Structure 1
């Protein structure tokens, strides 16, 4: 039985940024247009008027101040309100593969490895650009990796579930190394015209290189243990799959074809689930709250993370113990905890313990306990 370790991480960040001020201006312009065009229905009581959004509302609801996106022009056009992503030819790399390759190359460079040394590529994300062939196989081909590759989707927990799958294969000896890649084009499945959620998501890609610990060429994070759990719920949902359904009149503009969330129920049900999951995982490994140096949590909502951090540690986290990147990146689905880990892990000392945790639709929760090894 071998031990697995994280030896490198990489983050691809899009060049375009949408600030809260820009987003609010676009959304409010859309709301005004909607209210004018549907004035008669609104007056008759058959249609609800659209409320304005505000920067204060967004920050209070989420802690988000901006987000990176692949395309901002379409999102900020009140007549469009979605990203304008060019349909690529079959001979071109897919957008998800292009993003994933960038993140993967950074992870490989950090570990001092070449792509030819990688035995497995997992593309783990909330939404795939196509049903098949697998994005992971395309990334494998573009990088020049050996072995095999496959896609997986556990929504916002995709990264931690992918890490467990890769770590288990390394421990068994069936592979020596794996890249778990999370290209998240969240802007494409967000309903930007819905005031309750129009601010939530951003785009990004992350990559985590996992190797046999005895083969690590430098500082790494040994994977002490992984644990995953799922429990079915409809409270976070996106029905826009390949069996896309239509209205009786043949139109496709169904609200449930984009991201939907019952926020109150999610808060009430997910928070205790995640807190209990991490506590049980730590208890099984005889790790006390005082032993932890860092929590790298899923970046969905600052209030949620503050609650979980306090439950796990038994007190409010000190500055730096539970780093947030939410204010800059917004919710990036499965990639969020990996961005936090990538940006806020190098300062840990040999022997320091931390937990990477993600949670979301499913419901799903995945946790990875790691130890710094120099």
Structure 2
């Protein structure tokens, strides 16, 4: 089968209408705008109300991406949803497929937490490069407000809800210039959203566990040290794979976890901070949604132009981390 390339030809994003700023959050937990902003760079976050679903968010973002790309839903071959917070543990991608009317698309969820969008991009590339599919919709979306302990000011100040999407299309020229992915399960305890069950005796000889998921727990210091060490390293390896120097990168779109991390990575790579796109002040940490949310804003406001080389990097729970360099558009 002839090998083909790919191009990202459209993007879109969506976020809940309800917003909670730091002053409002100080009514929920002992904190302040100054405490949060100086440590994280976050000023507010969007939060889904009880009737709002991830499928709604993801479908809205995907519809905007398809509109920009000029691709009809019926032309979509594959829908990938990168998420850690599905509406249904059996999967939410197929619900998005139905909402879009993408009747011929196969759909499935992919979980790699805050690295999910980058992992999803590389996954989509394999289907396109082997000639199996032509049009792929990749969505990164999470509703983390469902799983935050709102009495824990170390974590509840960080997270918000949102979704972002891109349309990836087969093309004679391959615009995924390089990538590198990693996982380290030995550090899983640093950041998790773990199942917690209680024993239930079915018969005298058979006992199972039933329960649910406890709120997000995080060792912030360890996650910070991991990010500022591993992200520059994985980005440098990706630049090497792409045959590029850091100076040739037009924009950097990293997972929007903490402004201090974004600044530290830029400094270690000698990339000017003004090349690093940041919108976490408005949205907080939206996990798998953060990269496509930031990408969509930068495309729509004219910062990212066709032909620009964009370095993306995701990092987080798992622990997982990865990077990719793409050239925007055709």
Alignment TM-score, normalising by the size of structure 2: 0.89
Q: 1:350 to 1:9 in 2, by over 3 A?
A: closer
Tell me what 1:112 maps to.
70
Q: Which runs of 5+ in 1 are unaligned?
A: 28-51, 72-84, 87-93, 216-220
Alignment of 1:93-172 (within 5 A): 95-132=53-90, 134-145=91-102, 146-172=104-130
Alignment of 1:1-374 (within 5 A): 1-27=3-29, 52-71=30-49, 85-86=50-51, 95-132=53-90, 134-145=91-102, 146-214=104-172, 222-232=175-185, 233=187, 234-240=189-195, 244-246=196-198, 257-312=214-269, 314-315=270-271, 317-319=272-274, 321-345=275-299, 346-373=302-329
Q: Which runs of 5+ in 2 are unaligned?
A: 201-209
For 1:10 and 1:348, how far apart are their aligned partners in 2?
14
For 1:192 and 1:230, how far apart are their aligned partners in 2?
29
Other structure's SS at 1:355 match: strand
RMSD between aligned alpha carbons?
Answer: 2.2
For 1:178 and 1:117, how far apart are their aligned partners in 2?
9
Q: Is the 8 A contact 2:266 2:273 kept in 1?
A: no
Q: Give the C-alpha shift of residue 367 in structure 1.
A: 1.4
Between structure 1 and structure 2, the one with the greater Rg is 1
Q: Give the C-alpha shift of residue 270 in structure 1.
A: 2.6
CA offsets 1:333-364 (integer angstroms, 9 cap, x no match): 01111111111134345543121111101111
Between 1 and 2, higher relative CO (CA 8 Å, sep ≥ 6) is seen in 2
Tell me what 1:39 maps to.
none
CA offsets 1:7-53 (integer angstroms, 9 cap, x no match): 111101211110100110222xxxxxxxxxxxxxxxxxxxxxxxx32
The aligned length equals: 314
For 1:340 and 1:106, how far apart are their aligned partners in 2?
15
For 1:102 and 1:228, how far apart are their aligned partners in 2?
28
Any runs of at least 4 consecutive aligned residues in structure 1 with deviations exceeding 3 A, and if so which?
Answer: 345-351
- Normalized per residue, the structure richer in strand is 2
For 2:119 and 2:179, how far apart are their aligned partners in 1?
9
Q: 1:358 to 1:193 in 2, by over 3 A?
A: same
For 1:373 and 1:114, how far apart are their aligned partners in 2?
18
Q: Is the 8 A contact 2:197 2:211 kept in 1?
A: no
For 2:303 and 2:220, how far apart are their aligned partners in 1?
35
For 2:228 and 2:250, how far apart are their aligned partners in 1?
21
Other structure's SS at 2:234 match: helix
For 1:194 and 1:349, how far apart are their aligned partners in 2?
41
CA offsets 1:282-305 (integer angstroms, 9 cap, x no match): 112221011111100100000011
Q: Give the C-alpha shift of residue 55 in structure 1.
A: 1.6
Q: Is the 8 A contact 2:141 2:287 kept in 1?
A: no
Q: Is the 8 A contact 2:251 2:309 kept in 1?
A: yes
Q: Is the 8 A contact 1:341 1:356 kept in 2?
A: no
Other structure's SS at 2:114 match: coil
Q: Is the 8 A contact 2:178 2:239 kept in 1?
A: no
